[in-house]
Structure 1
Amino acid sequence: MDGEAGGGAGGGAGGPAPLAAPLATSLVELKAAAKFYGPRLVFKDVSFAVRPGEIWIVAGENGAGKSTLLRVAAGLSRADAGGVSHGTGPGGIGLLGHETFVYPHLSALENLRFWAKLHERRAAPEDIAAVLARVGLSAAAEERAGRFSRGMAQRLALARVLLLAPELLLLDEPGTGLDARSRAMLEREIAAARERGAGLLWVSHHLGHDLALADKVLFLKRGRAAYCGDASGFAAAEEGLC
């Protein structure tokens, strides 16, 4: 089990302020984007745009290219064809990938201090304490992260992203290792991020549950976007996709 997760959603006390009015209509946009690994096609002709206050779920079978798509959207991997554009400000993208990037010899508190310094952000002690409370790690703030369970490490990784309050959150299976209570915390934070005007691109393997939180769905199959549209219309199309 992951252990107890507490704290309110990001919109409560200690949470980030709402974002200013966006300067662009989309935070990230892909136009006919394609990615290959050598001769192997990962995906092609993928087009979508994530706008402020919008949640996109990315779904598909294993190996469909979902994680690669997030890396392309983050600018960490270059598209081999098509275009990728960003409407975020400097440091406006937060990525939570499969790796937690938690430093095991540092405490939870030290991890967040280091992360803020790495990104040249000033994080007041009360802000760090607040984000640790939101992910239920207040009691473990001084504990070395190397002693954390997988679920605790995942919550610390989430805190790392939340601390910077990015305009665009890219979440690759963020519920990995989380128990039911921690997943409820995650859902509150996702809803709070949308409420403050952030956009989210979220890889999910729990569509039956997570679909209710989404505005849009991108379903990848055999290297193509088999569905790209409103979440409300996905259920009717899903049977023919899987």
Structure 2
Amino acid sequence: MRMLETSRGAASLVIDDVSKSFGSRVALSRVSLTVEVGERVALVGPNGAGKSTLLRVAALLTRPGRGRVRIGGLDAARSASQARRQIGYVAHRALLYDDLTGRQNLLFYARMYDVPDAGSRVDELLDWAGLAERGDDLVRGYSRGMQQRLTIARALIHNPGVLLLDEPLAALDPEGVTRVEGLLRELASAGCAVLMSTHDLERVTGSAGRMVVLAGGRLRADLLLDGLTTEDVAARYRSAIAAGTTDTWDEE
């Protein structure tokens, strides 16, 4: 596996005062969040907190009721097409074609994005994801971890500056988790802004450098993880949920 080469300009993600309702149910209420270039941010919260909705708003798949999203300085409402070119999105479901090979899956998405020299880009991503030797095998024969790595590669096919992932570590064995965490660290080091949801507090410190807590559609806490233990993270998570207010914590 080799370091992934990136050529697109790095981009930040800004979610500014975003609210979203579905009928009478409020999914998000005035959420503001910035993910800087090269930053890995974990989005945590109980079921129904609004995590998936927030990711879909950030991915420009769901229109907010109020507020705005900016990708690399672009107002997504005014420059949606340009902004989408900067976004890679990994949904909770893999969205892969089981009866195609890994290589064929990536080539299909490369053509959707009009990726130049698609064959070389696909080879690069398969190598980066540790799938070069399995690229010509059908996806139905892949392990869950292999499918997840291929899904991340698919999201990167057009070389976006912002990567959004909905529960990328779910259902992975420990080796699979470690490999995906390594890929995310590498992406951030290359300048990608990474926002991922997770329910696994024990893995947060290995997956991200910062954690934001969402509950009841509201941002409850925002803290840097450097120097914090798993027990520290769990305690601050519980405190934020119990308090029901937004706190910003930095390492003391």
How far apart, in 1, do the equivalents of 2:207 and 2:146 lie? 23
Identity of aligned residues (%): 30
8 A contact 1:113–1:123 mirrored in 2: no
Deviations 1:123-154 (A, max 9, x none): 45343233223323233222222343433322
8 A contact 1:145–1:153 mirrored in 2: yes
Matched, 1:138 2:132: yes
Match of 1:237 in 2: 236
The number of residues matched between the two structures is 227
8 A contact 1:154–1:176 mirrored in 2: no
What is the CA-CA distance between 1:67 and the residue it aligns to? 0.7
2:45 to 56, 60, 84: 60
Match of 1:221 in 2: 215
Deviations 1:178-229 (A, max 9, x none): 2222222211111111111110111012222222442322201122111124
How far apart, in 1, do the equivalents of 2:115 and 2:14 lie? 26
How far apart, in 2, do the equivalents of 1:199 and 1:75 lie? 16
1:172 to 166, 171, 183: 166
CA distance 1:195–1:104, shift in 2 (3 Å): same
Matched, 1:34 2:19: yes
CA distance 1:200–1:38, shift in 2 (3 Å): same
Q: Give runs of aligned pairs for residues 64-79 of structure 1, distance below 5 A.
A: 64-79=49-64
Deviations 1:74-117 (A, max 9, x none): 11101112222222655110000112121222211111111111
Q: TM-score, normalised by structure 1?
A: 0.84
Match of 2:5 in 1: 16
Match of 2:185 in 1: 191
Match of 2:99 in 1: 105
Q: Which has the higher contact order (CA 8 A, sep 6+)?
A: 1
Q: TM-score, normalised by structure 2?
A: 0.81
8 A contact 1:54–1:200 mirrored in 2: yes
Please tell me the root mean square deviation across aligned C-alpha atoms, in Å: 2.3
Deviations 1:165-187 (A, max 9, x none): 31000011112332222222211
What amino acid does structure 2 have at the position aligned with 1:102? Answer: L
Give unpaired runs (5+ residues) of structure 1: 1-6
8 A contact 1:19–1:196 mirrored in 2: no
CA distance 1:220–1:73, shift in 2 (3 Å): same
What amino acid does structure 1 have at the position aligned with 2:67? Answer: G
Q: Which stretch of structure 1 is more off in the superposition, 137-146 or 184-193?
A: 137-146
CA distance 1:54–1:238, shift in 2 (3 Å): same
